[in-house]
């Protein structure tokens, strides 16, 4: 039971936590997708009052439905324009989600003003809450899902309380919408809460999948996907803080020979030997990323000279710590070569920095390996 409780706490903590940069980037794309879907759904909503009129529905209800659909269509274009400016407005997921919920509530209020039972027993309009909550799953942020779901429950609870406060029992009976009961409305609120939890779990699963896509399976290090999505934010932070940012491209020397001599399983352990050694020396503002195979990237918020000293210190530490492939086996020497490049002096983006670092790495390898170069020779 204790382990089960900890598991639920871990899930709740993950849902309530701010997503990392990769997930926020995915979520920003999701917000644009939500905005485009909203435009399509809003256009489809125009069909509902027309269908109501064609099937003999009340004229006032048709007008209310049409006014609500036009209102949603106008704002759908506004949300789409804002979502196209990717991640410019941090409040956008909350604002657009609140709009989806509140637009549903406004239409229900208008229906209730015309005919009280319609405001609470109109299943077509009430499903707008479910659509609003479901759309949050595309944003990849559990906090938005819980906010929108909680807002839907709160607004519907307020509407229900007001209707039951002002209405007499006779006013809650309708030949078209049936009898409005307090128990039925409470059940709908429970359904909204349950649907919110389901969508939050969908977000949690999506986050885990995104997390796996940005993490190297063998070492647990961030991978190329993480680096590509996160690096622009690191550059922005470096510009804002007025500091240098360096990239070191690291490649293990003769690693194929290690695999050939001791086998791939021992080769994986040799790789972890290097990763553990380097990871244990990392300071704040340093990130180790595995690009693939025996190639790594080290990102450092330091000037070029200091970055070279840090990477060369790691090289010397690895040289002094032999790898033992198996019990009783002879220790093996592992070394790496590296090239270092700095922002903003040598390149302004990730591809430029990696290109410059790769040039220096190639020189380091061709001039004997087991060395770190931070300047062109």
Q: Are residues 41 and 7 in the same domain?
A: yes
User: Where would I find the H helices in the chain?
Assistant: 2-16, 21-45, 47-54, 59-83, 92-114, 116-121, 123-135, 142-166, 182-213, 224-241, 255-262, 264-281, 304-320, 350-366
SS3 297: strand
Q: Are residues 232 and 203 in the same domain?
A: no
Average pLDDT of the segment spanning 93-110? 91
Q: Are residues 128 and 26 in the same domain?
A: yes
**What is the DSSP-derived secondary structure letter of residue 332?**
B
Q: Are residues 205 and 312 in the same domain?
A: no
Q: Mean pLDDT across the chain, nearest whole number?
A: 87
Does residue 273 form part of some domain?
Answer: yes
Number of domains making up the chain: 2
Which is more confident, 155 or 80?
Answer: 155
Q: Are residues 152 and 16 in the same domain?
A: yes
Average pLDDT of the segment spanning 246-260? 90
Whether the predicted pLDDT of 1 surpasses 60: no
pLDDT of residue 211: 66
Does residue 218 form part of some domain?
Answer: no
Q: Are residues 192 and 309 in the same domain?
A: no
SS3 138: helix
Distance CA 122, CA 97 (A): 21
pLDDT of residue 188: 94
Q: Are residues 192 and 85 in the same domain?
A: yes
Does residue 219 form part of some domain?
Answer: no
Q: Are residues 21 and 75 in the same domain?
A: yes
pLDDT digits (tens, 9 = 90+) for 123-180: 888 999 999 999 988 888 889 999 999 999 999 999 999 999 888 888 888 877 888 8
Structure tokens at 322: 């032999």
pLDDT of residue 31: 81
pLDDT of residue 336: 95
pLDDT digits (tens, 9 = 90+) for 117-131: 888 988 888 999 999
Does residue 249 form part of some domain?
Answer: yes
Dihedral-angle region of residue 316 (phi above 0 means left; psi in -120 to 50 means alpha; beta otherwise):
alpha
What's the residue count for the chain? 377
Distance CA 123, CA 103 (A): 15
Question: Domain boundary residue among 213, 234, 252?
Answer: 213
How distant is the alpha carbon of residue 28 from its chain centre? Answer: 8
Q: Are residues 206 and 236 in the same domain?
A: no
Nearest to 369 by CA among 347, 339, 328: 339
Does residue 343 form part of some domain?
Answer: yes
Q: Which residue has the tokens 């059940």?
A: 187
Domain carrying residue 156: 2-213
* Contact of 35 with 27, CB cutoff 8 Å: no
Structure tokens at 115: 């005919």
Question: Domain boundary residue among 181, 213, 245?
Answer: 213
Distance CA 136, CA 194 (A): 15
Out of 19-33, 71-85, 227-241, 244-258, least confident range = 19-33
pLDDT of residue 300: 95
Structure tokens at 140: 């990849």
Does residue 69 form part of some domain?
Answer: yes
Q: Are residues 202 and 237 in the same domain?
A: no
Q: Are residues 273 and 201 in the same domain?
A: no
Average pLDDT of the segment spanning 103-121? 88
Structure tokens at 327: 């019990």
pLDDT digits (tens, 9 = 90+) for 177-215: 888 889 999 999 999 999 999 999 988 888 777 666 778
Percent of the chain with pLDDT over 90: 40
| CATH number of the CATH domain containing 369 | 3.30.70.270
pLDDT digits (tens, 9 = 90+) for 311-364: 999 999 999 999 888 776 788 899 999 999 999 889 889 999 999 999 999 999
Q: Are residues 270 and 344 in the same domain?
A: yes
Structure tokens at 328: 């009783």
pTM of the model: 0.62
What's the pLDDT band for 20 if we cut at 50, 70, 90? low
* Contact of 66 with 49, CB cutoff 8 Å: yes
pLDDT digits (tens, 9 = 90+) for 271-325: 999 999 999 999 988 999 999 889 999 999 999 999 999 999 999 999 999 988 8
Distance CA 62, CA 66 (A): 6
Question: Domain boundary residue among 213, 235, 253?
Answer: 213
């Amino acid at each position: 039971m204790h382990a089960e409780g900890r598991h639920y706490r871990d899930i709740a903590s993950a849902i309530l936590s701010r997503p990392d940069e990769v997930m926020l980037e995915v979520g920003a794309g999701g917000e644009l997708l939500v905005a485009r879907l909203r435009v399509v759904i809003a256009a489809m909503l125009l069909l509902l009052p027309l269908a109501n009129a064609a099937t003999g529905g009340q004229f006032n209800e048709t007008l209310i439905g049409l006014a609500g659909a036009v209102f949603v269509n106008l704002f759908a274009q506004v949300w789409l324009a804002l979502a196209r400016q990717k991640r410019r407005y941090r409040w956008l997921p909350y604002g657009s989600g609140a709009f989806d919920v509140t637009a549903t509530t406004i239409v229900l209020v208008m229906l209730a003003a015309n005919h009280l039972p319609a405001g609470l027993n109109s299943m077509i309009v009430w499903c707008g809450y479910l659509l609003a909550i479901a759309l949050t799953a595309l944003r990849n942020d559990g906090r938005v899902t819980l906010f929108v779901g909680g807002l839907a429950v709160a607004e519907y609870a307020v509407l229900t309380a007001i209707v039951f406060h002002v209405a007499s029992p006779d006013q809650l009976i309708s030949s078209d919408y049936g009898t409005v009961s307090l128990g039925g409305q409470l059940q709908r609120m429970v359904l909204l809460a349950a649907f919110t939890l389901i969508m939050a779990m969908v977000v949690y699963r999506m986050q885990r999948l995104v997390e796996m896509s940005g993490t190297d399976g063998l070492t647990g290090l961030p991978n190329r996907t993480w680096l590509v999505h996160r690096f622009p934010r690191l550059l922005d932070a470096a510009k804002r803080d007025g500091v240098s940012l360096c990239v070191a491209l690291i490649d293990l020397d003769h690693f194929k020979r290690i695999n050939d001599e001791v086998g791939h399983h021992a080769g994986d352990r040799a790789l972890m030997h290097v990763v553990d050694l380097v990871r244990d020396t990392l300071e704040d503002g340093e990130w180790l990323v595995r690009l693939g195979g025996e190639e790594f990237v080290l990102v450092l918020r330091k000037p070029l000279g200091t970055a070279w000293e840090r990477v060369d210190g790691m090289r010397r530490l690895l040289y002094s710590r032999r790898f033992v492939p198996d019990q009783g086996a002879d220790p093996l020497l592992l070394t790496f070569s590296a090239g270092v490049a700095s922002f903003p002096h040598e390149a302004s983006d990730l591809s430029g920095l990696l290109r410059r670092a790769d040039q220096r790495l190639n020189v380091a390898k061709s001039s004997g390996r087991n060395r770190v170069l931070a300047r062109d020779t």
